[in-house]
Amino acid sequence: MEKLKMHSPDFVEENIENLAALFPNCVTESENKDGVPKKSIDFDLLKQELSTHIVEGPQERYHLNWPGKREALLTANTPIAKTLRPCREESVNFDKTENLFIEGDNLDALKLLQETYLGKVKMIYIDPPYNTGKDFIYADNFAESTEDYLLESGQKDEEGNRLIANTDSNGRFHSDWLSMMYSRLKLARNLLKDDGVIFISIDDGESYNVRKLCNEVFGENKFIAQFIWKSRQNKDNRTKNGASIDHEYVVAYGKTIRGADRDLRGYSNPDNDSRGNWTSANMVGLATADRRPNLHYDLVDPATSINYGRPQMGWRYDKKTMAKLISENRILWPSTPNGRPRKKSFLSELSSERTGYSSIIGIDVYTRNGTADIAELFGKRVMDFPKSVEIVKELINQGDLGSNGIVLDFFAGSSSTAHAVMQLNAEDEGNRKFIMVQLPEECDEKSEAFKAGYKTIAEISKERIRRAGKKIKEENATTTTNLDTGFRVLKTDSSNMVDVHYTPDAIEQTLLARLSNNIKGDRTSEDLLFQVLLDWGVDLTLPLAKETIADREVFFVDGNALAACFEKNGKITEDFCKELAQREPLRVVFRDSGFKDDSVKINVEQIFKLMSPHTEVKTI
């Protein structure tokens, strides 16, 4: 029985908890005056979170540390003068798709996605470089000052595209890898929903550091599991340590709630079931037919006679239990045979049903299966050791996304994750979305990929999505009519805006001309539109439409969510704006140089206040 505190609230403890919610990496352990361990704040790290320069002054404490950690934190928090430029010619169904492929440095991409996708991603899966001494890692520039970084990052495209081989002879072998991961995980955490989860594939080389790193970024109490995957079917006789390493790990962490508590989210009662709130639960099994033959059988809806077949890993329940669930109206039947039946799981029975997932990934899929997946699409081995589609599908199921939600992979490689999302959507009529991020890393000129015409990993990645989407639709022609297999390609680049740096004694006529137009000459109206979407925090996958109003080109995003006109040379007139205001858009943006003069600009503001008072008006 708990005792009453019999004293006023401890605001220090409450403040620590509040800070922990914002900066979990700043929570550490210390001792009180009696030597009893207590939770406390690492003030040096907190200062670093709130500073634009490197803060010195470490003190002894229990935490993970390495050379370059503070620089990595500073790098994560430093803003960049960059944007995402659309590339229609490399996209599929650009105007209507809700999937994204971002080509560029994933550090830049994660920063650029912060406002738009803050707290919106349901699941992150990454398969980062394993730090074997042969793999490449990102060579982030930690040496520049904040001012220099802001100046240079918008002007040097190559800054975000540098990879180095992290050989085991490097004195900072672990430190460089940790710095690369730390800044990216810090940014990735912001994008996760409160009930979101991140899965990280890793091997023995850095598995212990990944756990420590995630304990700091997400909080030790957000650890869900370290899954073990048997990645090799046959023993490796080439090992130098005398042991055949036949497994890899998948480390899982939640955003703000622990794994078991995530199940409390997502319960509702859309059909007013008298048994109370429920959620859609996965019924796919965890064992192969040779291990659990009683779980492998065809499942047929008795009302429609539709046969849904049997998954590769069978069902979670035997025939007798399944028949009982059917009789109790507990099965959610898809409308087509290609769908995957799911179960109504009621909140009232949560404690008795919560058995969790095994820490051993129990599907007979190996590294070679991932290679076979992509070889089947391309007719040759254009990528070494990509993750299997079945493994990623299993993780999506374990992530409890349900039938929708955003899946992010910022080490996309060949885009096995995008392939898995599309395949799973085809199987259960889901509506999950993907965001892939991949650096245009150059292919080795001796590789099969280069010989086949692919110069970068990003090119392979995009082509894999195109081919996989086409194959999935061909194999399920009658049930995938509305399946979204498209993707919008966006590429990281310097800002669309001109940076003008000068001293008072260096003003020339050419400088004045540049000041009159603050937008770079090689940028299109659609380039400007996507920078506006980023700055305004508008979803980058909303449907786009382009119309001509009074001989002016106008973009409309998601109907009237945003209207944008980037005409210049005085073409933004009062009459045109009156016609546009009749559409009553939620937001409207113009090019600043499009107004004839300041008086027209002021009058346009008044026009919208009178005709569409809810419209937010801005200029670039």
Pair 594, 571: CB distance under 8 Å: yes
Are 258 and 399 within one domain? yes
Instruction: Give domain status of residue 7, yes or no.
Output: no
Q: How far apart are CA 253 and CA 196, in angstroms?
A: 9
- d(C-alpha 510, C-alpha 542), whole Å: 39
583, HSE (Cβ side, Cα atoms, 13 Å): 21
Same domain, 458 and 432: yes
Give yes or no: residues 138 and 226 share one domain: yes
pLDDT band (50, 70, 90) for residue 63: confident
Beta-bridge partner residues of 223: 253
Return the residue matching tokens 């090992």: 239
Give me the pLDDT at residue 93, please.
96
Tokens of 568: 């210049």
Q: What angle do CA 593, 80, 128 make, to 5 degrees?
A: 140
pLDDT of 161 reads 47
Mean pLDDT check: name the lowest of 174-178, 325-329, 451-455, 509-513: 509-513
Q: Which of 47-61, 167-181, 255-269 has the highest mean pLDDT?
A: 47-61
* For residues 277-284, average pLDDT: 84
State which amino acid sits at residue 411.
F
Q: Output the pLDDT for position 479.
A: 77
Q: Does the structure show a pLDDT above 60 at 376? A: yes
* 207 shares a domain with 82: yes
Range of the domain at 427: 75-263+358-492
What's the CA angle centered on 76, arms 73 and 82, to 5 degrees? Answer: 155
Q: What is the mean pLDDT of residues 379-395?
A: 88
With CA atoms as reference, report the closest residue to 128 among 218, 249, 239. 249
User: Is residue 8 included in any domain, yes or no?
Assistant: no
Q: Is the dihedral of CA 202, 204, 206, 209 positive or negative?
A: positive
In a domain, 165, yes or no: yes
Query: Where residue 57 falls among pLDDT bands split at 50, 70, 90?
Result: low
Report which residue type is found at 402: G
Q: Based on the domain organization, do 408 and 448 belong to the same domain?
A: yes
Residue with tokens 């945003």: 562
Say if CB 321 and CB 295 are below 8 A apart. Answer: no
The CATH number that applies at residue 247 is 3.40.50.150
| Alpha-carbon 517 to chain mean position | 35
Contact 593, 517 (CB under 8 A): yes
- DSSP conformation class of 326: H
In this structure, the number of other CB atoms found within 10 A of the CB of residue 376 comes to 11
Same-domain pairing of 193 and 319: no
pLDDT, tens digit, 9 for 90 and up, residues 328-359? 999 999 888 878 899 998 887 765 444 456 78
Residue 187 has pLDDT above 80, yes or no: yes
The CA-CA-CA angle for residues 304, 335, 309, to 5°, reads 70
Asked if 180 and 253 sit in the same domain, the reply is: yes
Residue 159 scores a pLDDT above 60: no
Does residue 131 form part of some domain?
A: yes
Q: Which two tokens stand for residue 51?
A: 């500073």
Q: What is the DSSP letter of 93?
A: S
Distance (Å, whole) CA 599 – CA 601: 5
Q: How far is it, in rounded angstroms, from Cα 279 to Cα 264?
A: 10
H-state helical runs in 27-105: 43-49, 69-77
Q: Which amino acid, residue 593?
A: S
pLDDT digits (tens, 9 = 90+) for 454-503: 999 999 999 999 999 999 999 888 778 889 999 999 999 999 988 654 44
- Backbone φ and ψ for 224, nearest 5 degrees, come out as -100, -55
Residue at which a domain ends, from 466, 492, 518: 492
What distance in Å separates the CA atoms of residue 274 and residue 444, rounded to the nearest whole number?
A: 62
H/E stretch holding 345: strand 342-346
Is the same domain home to 521 and 440? no
Same domain, yes or no: 405 and 424: yes
- Inform me whether the pLDDT recorded for 422 exceeds 80: yes
Length of the chain: 620
Give CA angle at 375 (372, 379), nearest 5°. 145
Residue 445 has pLDDT above 80, yes or no: yes
Domain count, the chain: 4
Q: Which amino acid is at 190?
A: N
Backbone angles phi, psi at 536, to 5 degrees: -90, -5
Residue 196 in any domain: the answer is yes
Q: Do 116 and 539 touch, CB atoms closer than 8 A?
A: yes
Least confident window among 5-14, 105-114, 250-259: 5-14
Q: Label residue 232 by pLDDT band (50, 70, 90).
A: confident
615, part of any domain: yes
345: β partners: 279
**Average pLDDT value over all residues in the chain:** 84
pLDDT at 313 over 60: yes
The residue ranking higher by pLDDT, 168 or 44, is: 44
Sign of the C-alpha dihedral, residues 38, 43, 44, 45? positive
Residue 41's φ and ψ, nearest 5 degrees, are -110, 135
Q: How far apart are CA 596 and CA 607, in angstroms?
A: 16
The per-residue pLDDT for 508 is: 56
Is 11 among the domain residues?
no
Q: What mean pLDDT do residues 391-399 have? A: 87
In a domain, 378, yes or no: yes
Give the pLDDT band (50/70/90) at residue 158: very low
Q: Give the CB-side neighbour count of residue 184, counting CA atoms within 13 A.
A: 28
CA 87-436-497 angle, 5° bins: 45
Q: Give me the phi and psi of 35, to 5 degrees please.
A: 80, 15
pLDDT in tens, 538-555: 999 999 999 999 999 999
Structure token pair of residue 466: 């195109």
Contact 61, 29 (CB under 8 A): yes
Q: Which of 29-38, 51-60, 115-124, 252-261 has the highest mean pLDDT?
A: 115-124
Do 108 and 56 share a structural domain?
no
As separate numbers, helices (DSSP H) first and strands (DSSP E) second, the chain gives 18, 22
Asked whether the beta carbons of 458 and 404 are under 8 A apart, the reply is no
Say if residue 172 is in the same domain as residue 238. Answer: yes
* Final residue in a domain of this structure, among 7, 30, 63: 63
Of 424 and 232, which is predicted with more confidence? Answer: 424
Condensed to tens digits (0 to 9), the pLDDT of residues 92-103 reads: 999 999 999 999
Q: In percent, how much of the chain has pLDDT > 70?
A: 83
pLDDT at 308: 92
554 and 438 share a domain?
Answer: no
Out of 492, 510, 543, a domain closes at 492
